[in-house]
């Protein structure tokens, strides 16, 4: 079945919140509120999480893996290189000295953590991305956008909800 996209723009965050609440409780056939609802905003509204329900964030797993990999890789490479230094005179000092090696391990721990966190961010946030079917530059200015995807049959009910909650503008399918 073909899908339809509708974008409603709101000037007021509270009004957008009420519209989302109704979308969540309305039980419209052909519209799954968990998968088909996207809220767009010009700033990070902590309230959005409450509005659309808690969704897990997995970036920290990337951070953990990146930091550990960075640290382990650094120590292995340094210690591995030093272990090949038998030909050098060490004057009785350890071939793999732990305290000074920890400095570079620490730096690489951070480097790996930062790099892989960014990779995780791009993956988890779905970036780089193509423009969604409907987009309004007003969202980056001062308006809240509610983008829904639904079956053809659900579109009138969704539009009705948006209209009732005083949407400033409703766009369908082809965005500006």
Partner 1 sequence: MGKDIREDIAWAQINKDVLASVQSPRKLYWVILFIALAVFGVGIGCEVMNYRIGLGVSNMDNPHVWGLYIATFIFWIGMSHSGTLLSAILHLMHADWRKPIYRFAEAMTTFSLMTAGLFVAVHLGRLWQIYYALPYPNERWTWPNFQSPLLWDAMAIFTYLSSSVIFLYIGSIPDLAICRDNIQAGWRKKLYSILSLGWEGTDRQWRNFRITYMTVACFLIPLAVSVHSIVASDFAMSQQPGWHVTSFPPYFVAGALYSGCAAIITLFVILRYVFKFEEYMTLPILRKTVRLTFAIAMVWTYLNCIEFASAWYGHSQADKAVLIQKATGPYAPFWWSMIFCGSVVPFAMMVKKWQVNIPIMFAVSLLLNLGMWLERWMIVSPTFAHGYYPWSWDHDQWPSLVQWGIVFGSFGWFTLLFMVFCKIIPSVSMYEVKEMVYHRTLAKKKEELGLEGGH
Q: Least distance in Å: CB of 91 to partner 1? A: 12
Task: Read off φ and ψ for residue 40, nearest 5 degrees.
Answer: -115, 135
Alpha-carbon distances of 26 from 99, 168, 172, rounded to whole Å: 62, 21, 20
Question: Tokens 């953590």 label which residue?
Answer: 113
Between 24 and 45, whose beta carbon lies closer to partner 1? 45
Q: Least distance in Å: CB of 84 to partner 1? A: 9
Q: Least distance in Å: CB of 120 to partner 1? A: 7
Q: Least distance in Å: CB of 171 to partner 1? A: 14
Q: Least distance in Å: CB of 153 to partner 1? A: 25
What is the C-alpha to C-alpha distance for residues 12 and 16, in angstroms, rounded to an integer?
Answer: 6
What is the C-alpha to C-alpha distance for residues 107 and 57, in angstroms, rounded to an integer?
Answer: 26
8 A C-beta contact, residue 175 and residue 132: yes
What is the C-alpha to C-alpha distance for residues 164 and 136, in angstroms, rounded to an integer?
Answer: 21
Between 29 and 64, whose beta carbon lies closer to partner 1? 64
Residues 71-100 that bind partner 1 (CB under 8 A): 78, 81-82, 85, 88, 97, 100
61 scored as a contact of partner 1 (CB under 8 A)? no
127-156 footprint of partner 1 as x/- string (CB under 8 A):
xxxxxx--x-x-xxxx--x-x---------
Alpha-carbon distances of 79 from 66, 97, 104, 112, rounded to whole Å: 20, 8, 11, 18
Structure tokens at 91: 């004057």
Contact positions vs partner 1 (CB under 8 A): 38-45, 48-49, 52, 55, 57, 59-60, 63, 78, 81-82, 85, 88, 97, 100-101, 103-104, 106-108, 110-111, 113-115, 117-118, 120-122, 124-132, 135, 137, 139-142, 145, 147
């Amino acid at each position: 079945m073909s899908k339809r996209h509708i974008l409603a723009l709101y000037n007021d965050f509270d009004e957008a919140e009420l519209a989302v609440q109704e979308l969540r409780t309305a039980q419209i056939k052909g519209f799954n509120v968990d998968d088909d609802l996207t809220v767009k905003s010009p700033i990070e509204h902590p309230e959005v999480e409450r509005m659309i329900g808690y969704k897990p964030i997995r970036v920290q797993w990337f951070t953990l893996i990146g930091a550990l990999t960075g640290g382990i890789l650094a120590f292995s490479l340094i210690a591995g290189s030093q272990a090949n230094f038998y030909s050098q005179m060490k004057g009785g000092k350890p071939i793999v000295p732990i305290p000074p090696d920890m400095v570079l391990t620490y730096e690489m721990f951070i480097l790996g953590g930062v790099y892989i966190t960014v990779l995780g961010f791009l993956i988890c946030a779905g970036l780089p991305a193509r423009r969604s079917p409907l987009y309004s530059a007003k969202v980056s200015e001062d308006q809240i956008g509610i983008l829904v995807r639904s079956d053809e049959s659900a579109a009138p009910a969704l539009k009705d909800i948006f209209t009732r909650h005083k949407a400033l503008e409703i766009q369908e399918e082809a965005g500006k």
